[in-house]
Structure 1
């Protein structure tokens, strides 16, 4: 059957649905097989689509078997059988085990078969769209994406992710300081992507510390190109993040690059995090410097009793800096410990003197 219109529509569907023509042709073939089964009562057929000739060919297929006696057939071969004598009436030069193919005009399909073809084709196209969408967002897993707020209720923000997909950001996965309104763009971290019956399901959050890393990569060119590396990060989502950075170029100041001129870069990151504070410290391969730097903004008098095997150390600070080093509710030292993966004990100078600790 020759149909220029079919191949014209094929290109239109491919463009509208953003699906490769080859995938649509494959879906059409499956639909034709189903239609053939509806029309002929079995599924032994081969579909050939030739876009160059605007041609669609359907072949009914039979396996040639002996007129009498048993003939072993591959159980995986789903095909109707025809006796050798019947086959020779259609094609003289044929033998047992051959496949007899006869051309069938698709126009002979019943209306029921045509309807079935349309249904199968539409379902196959929907499945292809789901698979394409899943693959697209699977590549975004563990990455940051920009979504648009299209609604909210007491428990969720409804987000539009693009490509015709929406998701929910549970407010328990948002920052305590987040106050989004409909129409606002928000940066979220893709925690996981799963394929469900109705299509891909994308789970997003704003609590993961990797969201902060992705923001640095997105907004700071030196981090994106690897000149400046984030070596350690810890976070109390919505309140404070502590980040250790190191420069791989002696001419580039890691902290300066992250802060930006007049604080422009770090302010943009803080804005994206709805006001969450960001503490930067200089990463060091020297253990004493690393531990001391991680406790900033508190100044450290000494780092002693270092045990590299157990990754433990004692830090001495001025009496009036003890509360700053520990932080409100122990936050500063907790984040420092998480960021550098060292256990840190902190004492004031007076406490150290009283215990006979030399520093």
Structure 2
């Protein structure tokens, strides 16, 4: 079959659907095979594209049976044909041969043509979905910008990139979030799954990694590795605690992260609807690390350090006990999560009463 227009259409379909020509060829191949099977009543067909010759070849396949009894080890995927019937199709046919019979698309019946179109569209849509999925999969574990399209009782409908729409459940938004249609927000992509109807993207604003990604975006020294985030914890919508270490002695880890006049940390807090960000200096010294993690509360001493169990006792001034513990235990909870240590806290007076030496 010589058809230059067919190969031109392949390129047009590829361009219209943001696909490669190879992907469109695959869809057409599967469609032509489905039509060939319907037309000839066979189980297997072969399609060959010869673009340089503007040629399309379609073959139905038969396996020519040997003389005598059937062998049990014959490949059952083929349609079998007796030698006499095979010779009627091709006088040179031989037994135990895979005989290919050429068929022209113009000979396809209505039902065969219908199967061609159906299978072509089915495969093309599968490829398009897979392409979208692979593109979205690259966003997994990343922070993305989104636009609020709709506000419902239990979720926000948001648009991520072009024509990618998903939902931000309100349980995954911050208590302080009060978004309106048209608002631009930042969300963290927790997962991308392929569903029957296509890819589905899951997003969150409560995930602790959102704070990390915001820090990377607004603090170049974190993005390039000069400053490392070594510990982080979060009470979404209220407070985060971040342990940082500078790999350059000339770069102040806290000053660089906060920014001039607090500009950097304020931007991060703004995108988290006012969530406060506590920063502390990371230390390889266990006692220093524990003391730093409890900031803004001052720590008099750290004792009873058990590296194996990762437990320790922090002694704080009497007047700072409530600050060290925090409202509903928030400060110590975040310190424990960020540092990786289980921290008990006592006031100086209580430590003295118990005879704790430090």
TM-score (norm 1): 0.93
Give the structure 1 partner of residue 331 of structure 2.
332
Give the structure 2 partner of residue 168 of structure 1.
167
- Cα distance in 2 for partners of 1:202, 1:3 equals 42
Count of residues in Structure 1 that have an aligned counterpart in Structure 2: 358
Give the structure 2 partner of residue 27 of structure 1.
27
* 8 Å CA contact 2:66, 2:83 repeated in 1: yes
Residue aligned with 1:176, SS? coil
Give the structure 1 partner of residue 313 of structure 2.
314
- Cα distance in 2 for partners of 1:65, 1:328 equals 84
Tell whether 2:61 aligns with 1:78: no
- Cα distance in 2 for partners of 1:273, 1:74 equals 67
1:224-239 correspondence to structure 2 within 5 Å: 224-239=223-238
TM-superposition CA deviations, 1:302-357 (whole Å, max 9, x none): 11221212212221222222222111221111110111111212222222223332
TM-superposition CA deviations, 1:173-202 (whole Å, max 9, x none): 100011112122221122222221111122
- Cα distance in 1 for partners of 2:193, 2:102 equals 43
Structure 1, 94-103 or 197-206: larger mean CA deviation: 94-103
Give the structure 2 partner of residue 119 of structure 1.
118
Give the structure 1 partner of residue 45 of structure 2.
45
- Cα distance in 2 for partners of 1:73, 1:96 equals 15
Residue aligned with 2:2, SS? coil
Residue aligned with 2:33, SS? helix
Residue aligned with 1:96, SS? coil
Give the structure 2 partner of residue 207 of structure 1.
206
- Cα distance in 1 for partners of 2:319, 2:272 equals 31
* 8 Å CA contact 2:61, 2:101 repeated in 1: yes
- Cα distance in 2 for partners of 1:94, 1:36 equals 20
CA drift of 1:92 comes to 5.1
Structure 1, 62-71 or 131-140: larger mean CA deviation: 62-71
- Cα distance in 2 for partners of 1:262, 1:348 equals 34
TM-superposition CA deviations, 1:84-132 (whole Å, max 9, x none): 3444455555432222222211111123322321121111111111112
* 8 Å CA contact 1:58, 1:105 repeated in 2: yes
- Cα distance in 2 for partners of 1:51, 1:167 equals 41
* 8 Å CA contact 1:326, 1:333 repeated in 2: yes
- Could you list the runs of 4 or more consecutive aligned residues of structure 1 that deviate by over 6 angstroms after TM superposition? none
CA drift of 1:155 comes to 0.8
Tell whether 2:288 aligns with 1:275: no
- Cα distance in 1 for partners of 2:356, 2:100 equals 94
Give the structure 2 partner of residue 284 of structure 1.
283
* 8 Å CA contact 1:149, 1:182 repeated in 2: yes
1:254-269 correspondence to structure 2 within 5 Å: 254-269=253-268
* 8 Å CA contact 2:148, 2:156 repeated in 1: yes
* 8 Å CA contact 1:133, 1:163 repeated in 2: no
CA drift of 1:80 comes to 2.3
TM-superposition CA deviations, 1:178-230 (whole Å, max 9, x none): 11121222211222222211111222111111111121122222212222111
> RMSD of aligned C-alpha atoms?
1.9
* 8 Å CA contact 1:144, 1:190 repeated in 2: yes
1:78-157 correspondence to structure 2 within 5 Å: 78-88=77-87, 91=90, 93-157=92-156
* 8 Å CA contact 2:42, 2:60 repeated in 1: no
- Cα distance in 1 for partners of 2:93, 2:115 equals 34
* 8 Å CA contact 2:37, 2:60 repeated in 1: no
1:155-194 correspondence to structure 2 within 5 Å: 155-162=154-161, 164-194=163-193
* 8 Å CA contact 1:65, 1:71 repeated in 2: no
Unaligned runs of 5+ in 2: none
Unaligned runs of 5+ in 1: none
Structure 1, 83-92 or 62-71: larger mean CA deviation: 83-92
* 8 Å CA contact 1:36, 1:43 repeated in 2: no
CA drift of 1:67 comes to 4.5
- Cα distance in 2 for partners of 1:148, 1:4 equals 45
* 8 Å CA contact 2:42, 2:61 repeated in 1: no
TM-score (norm 2): 0.94
